[in-house]
Amino acid sequence: MILFIDMNSFFATCEQQFNYYLRGRPVGVCVYTGKYGAVIAPSIEAKKMGVKTGMRLNDAMLLCPDLVPLETNSGRYREIHLKIMNLLRKYSGDVIPKSIDEAIVDLQHHKHIYKNIEDMKKLANQIKQDIRDTIGDYLKCSIGIAPNAFLAKLASDLQKPDGLTIITPENIDEVLSKLKLTDLPGIAGGMENRLKNAGIDTPLKLRYTDPAVLKVACQSIVGVYWHYRLNFSEVDLVSSPYKNMQAMRQLSREQRSSAQTIDNIFISLCMKLEKRMVAQGVYCKEFGMNISYQNGQRWKYHSKNAPLQDGMTIYHTLKQQLDKYAKEHGGKTLLHEGVAGLGVNVSDFVTADVLQVELFEDNIKKDHLRKAVYDVKDRYGYDKLLKAIELKEGHSAAYQDLIGFGSIKDMYNEQDWVSNSNKIQNPEE
């Protein structure tokens, strides 16, 4: 009773939907379109030419000289995502967005409407047609149908683009017998090695291995979850609010050649996390930073602190660590033209209602002011009210709104996720 909808080559197809003359042509959506920019979303046509997600643009052009590189248009992708979610809710109140291009439709409360596999197939085809008719005639999706969310996701991956695959108790062994361990969503090289070391070298063996053996093989409870997933129990359906937040940017050659631009991007990442924490009503007790370099090296820092929400406090604390490193290494800075990417993360959240305010600090007023500022920004636009730090030259460009394929919880308030989770966990209610 689970449908998993996966929009095919979503970012690129959205661009082809809006620009008729891109249709049928290989398209690569990039964060930036410089020579060494990364392709984050190749179109169906580009994929057929060998272009893969994460490939450098110069390498992609060698494979596909006709590739049309485009910069991301996050507002467009969000708009279409929300339209698709609203369409899916016509068929079920239990719709869980899993990412910008994926969603689960849970039909367990509609068993009297969708009584058998044929009804489910008819619904899946109707969803495909409704997307084409009401949202975009060039948009395609693959749909998987199965007894739980994991198997529905797996089914959606088996036939692309525009596929429809059903996994049932009757055909699951046949489906699994044709796959490798790494074909299963969530199993990469490390987990594959652990399983193979335990003598479990195929998905079919994984299904029939005792859960206690799997727990030892995987060195965690995750092994038991694999047994549940492949034997039709549900462990993946519940969505929840943030456990951690991360803001990351890859830097173009032009951006990393300017120390001021790098610093502006650094500030924008901290402010992005502040915005998310304000929206979710949480304060972090831990935060950190990671820097990746063109030569493959990395630098990481992690700190525990009193609960905080202020982006500039995070920025200044991290900046102190960068300055400390430079002082200890003869003035050698960590933010230089060799930087490939920056990331700032926050975690270990507490909510405002349990926050203990320090005796001599007027934090309550600061928190109310911060929330009021973002209420104004949300209502009238981000650039209508700015902090002094955001008036720095080049800061607005550094703050360019980007969106990836991961979490899209910024687009929903926390209560949406909590209530949806409760509804699924307690169907009798």
- Residue 102 is a catalytic residue: yes
The span from the CA of 360 to the CA of 276, in Å, is 27
Among the listed residues 23, 53, 40, 236, the one whose alpha carbon sits nearest the alpha carbon of residue 139: 23
The span from the CA of 302 to the CA of 291, in Å, is 12
123 in Cβ contact with 115 (< 8 Å): no
Task: Work out whether strand 282-293 and strand 298-308 pair parallel, antiparallel, or are unpaired.
Answer: antiparallel
The identity of residue 225, as a single letter, is Y
Task: Work out whether strand 339-351 and strand 282-293 pair parallel, antiparallel, or are unpaired.
Answer: antiparallel
DSSP string, 284-309: EEEEEEEEEETTS-EEEEEEEEEEE-
> What ranges in 188-339 are assigned the alpha helix state H?
189-197, 203-208, 211-218, 222-230, 253-256, 259-280, 311-328
Neighbours of 340 (CB within 10 A): 17
**H/E segment holding residue 142:** strand 141-146
78 in Cβ contact with 411 (< 8 Å): yes
Of 15, 45, 71, 102, catalytic: 102
309 in Cβ contact with 277 (< 8 Å): yes
The residues annotated with a catalytic role in the active site are: 102
